[in-house]
Amino acid sequence: MLKTALRGAILMGVACGAACASNPGRAAGTVPLEIPEPPPRVAMDPVPAVAEAPPPEAPEPPAAVPAAAAPSTPRVPAASPPPAAPPVAQTPEPVRTTPPPELRPAGPAGRTLTTAQVRERLVRTKQKLDSIDRRRLNAGKRADFDSARRFLSQANAAVEANNLLLAESSVDKAETLADGLR
């Protein structure tokens, strides 16, 4: 039994020694990285702006050439059409653009608050805070009480400025703090 254990130990030692003595795997060779040149830049001609063509000018009537010999009878002027009025350049009516829509942050889907709803929540939260005796609160809860009051005043200012999202957020925070004080 001792011989078998000794043979196993020697065999393990030889295997470990052979494993450490072998060459580590190497890459076939280092290939330098070749970065291709960027493609040539294609210059494009700018697109000409659409310009209105100048109105065609009316042809000028030929000047009357004086006759070398005046005829004995007076000449009756030929009936010529009255000179055409020069074409009036019609300015196209400017395209009426609608004012861009007022951008507002996206609120919770499907909820549009009115001022009355926010004011109702303000009153309800103020009543909750009024029902709490601040003198009976410990220091941490007093800080929460004061924060809730500040959130209420911030919400009032936001309602006056018609910023209902800020008002709702402030009332929500004040209401959460007031509920935690009970």
One pLDDT digit (tens) per residue for the chain, 182 residues: 777 877 877 878 777 766 665 566 665 667 778 888 988 988 888 877 766 666 666 666 666 655 555 555 556 555 665 566 666 666 667 677 777 777 766 655 556 778 999 999 999 999 999 999 888 999 999 999 999 999 999 999 999 999 999 999 999 999 999 999 87
- What pTM does this model have? 0.41
**Two tokens at 177?**
């703090």
- Sketch the domain layout of the chain as residue ranges: 117-181
* Domain 117-181 CATH (choose: 1.20.1270, 3.30.70, 1.20.1330, 1.10.238): 1.20.1270
CA distances from 166 to 101, 104, 119, 147, 156 (A): 20, 12, 13, 16, 10
